[in-house]
């Protein structure tokens, strides 16, 4: 999404902004409506950066528009295209194009000034899976501070940002780890394998434009097909042919191979 924004949105000038025509309690704003509609027009779009489950879009004048959290649809519409009936942010550009953000589950539409963004980053910041700073040594250091199950390490106030339950299934499968395995019990070899699996899954997903049940900036589905999800339940494991099972753990469903990912 960030790459597409940098290609399609940079240097566009915002003509007008509308904040939500369909209120939804799980949209996380950090300012009143009038601030979005007053501060955004006239700004020029700068660089977009992927920050875990968010995309931070720099705007002229030192503002940052943050979109993300996982339950949003972000679409770029050409000037002649029909706009969605419901949205939680609609930006119209001087050239007639528009950007819509619609949250189906939960999602963020935040607008920061420089001080607010620094404060947010200090409180919520953490390395993304593909951040160059997240070396194997740094990853191991984060693991050393965790005494929870490996699933919790990634999805419950995680040290590594941006990996949701959807991608975690494939990461743990490739690493051969059960979601309930406690992090302190992981051997050095398992820690290396987990780091490698995380990087490979996310790199592959990004290269393919996201999952096949996710849509990109232009409304096209991604090409990353998960090894383990609800479609795999009851089918043979691609590695050992054992039937794929599922468990409920930490507020969500986990799909796994009982043989390749033994219960601790």
pLDDT at 2: 94
pLDDT at 80: 77
Q: How far is CA 182 from the centre of its chain?
A: 24
Strand partners, 110: 66
CA distance 150 to 15: 46
pLDDT along the chain (264 residues), means of 10: 96 96 90 96 96 92 92 89 91 96 90 94 81 93 94 86 89 97 97 97 93 92 96 96 95 94 93
CB burial of residue 45 (10 Å; 0-12, 13-18, 19+):
buried
Q: Which residues have a Cβ under 8 Å from the Cβ of 118 and sit 6 or more positions away?
A: none
Q: What domains, with CATH codes, occur in the chain?
A: 2-124 (3.20.190.10), 136-256 (1.10.8.50)
pLDDT at 72: 85
State whether residue 59 is helix, strand or coil. Answer: strand
pLDDT at 125: 65
Strand partners, 255: 246
Q: Which residues have a Cβ under 8 Å from the Cβ of 124 and sit 6 or more positions away?
A: none
What stretches of 35-185 adopt beta strand conformation (E)? 45-51, 54-59, 63-68, 72-77, 89-93, 98-103, 107-112
Structure token digits, residue 40: 């955004």
Instruction: Work out the number of other CB atoms within 10 angstroms of the CB of residue 141.
Output: 11
Q: Which residues have a Cβ under 8 Å from the Cβ of 87 and sit 6 or more positions away?
A: 18, 20, 21, 22, 100, 101, 102
pLDDT at 68: 87
CA distance 253 to 247: 6
pLDDT at 79: 86
CA distance 48 to 54: 10
Strand partners, 90: 18, 100
């Amino acid at each position: 999404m960030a790459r597409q924004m940098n290609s399609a949105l940079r240097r566009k000038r915002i003509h007008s902004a509308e904040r939500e025509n369909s209120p939804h309690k799980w949209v996380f704003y950090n300012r009143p409506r009038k601030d979005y509609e007053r501060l955004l027009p006239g700004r020029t779009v700068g660089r977009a950066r992927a920050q875990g489950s968010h995309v931070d879009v720099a705007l002229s004048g030192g503002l940052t528009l943050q979109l993300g959290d996982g339950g949003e649809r972000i679409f770029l519409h050409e000037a002649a295209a029909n706009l969605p009936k419901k949205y939680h942010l609609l930006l119209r550009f001087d050239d007639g194009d528009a950007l819509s953000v619609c949250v189906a589950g939960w999602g963020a539409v935040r607008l920061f000034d420089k001080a607010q963004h620094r404060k947010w980053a200090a409180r919520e910041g953490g390395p993304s899976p593909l951040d160059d700073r997240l070396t194997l040594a740094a990853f191991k250091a984060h693991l050393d501070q965790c005494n929870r199950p490996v699933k919790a390490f990634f999805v419950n106030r995680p040290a590594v940002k941006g990996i949701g339950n959807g991608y975690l299934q494939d990461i743990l499968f490739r690493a051969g780890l059960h979601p309930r395995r406690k992090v302190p019990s992981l051997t050095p070899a398992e820690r290396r394998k987990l780091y490698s699996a995380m990087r490979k899954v996310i790199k592959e997903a990004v290269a393919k434009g996201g999952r096949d049940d996710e849509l990109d900036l232009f409304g096209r589905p991604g090409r990353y097909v998960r090894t383990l999800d609800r479609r795999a339940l009851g089918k043979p494991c691609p590695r050992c042919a054992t039937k794929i099972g599922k468990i409920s753990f930490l507020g969500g469903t986990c799909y796994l191979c009982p043989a390749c990912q033994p219960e601790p």
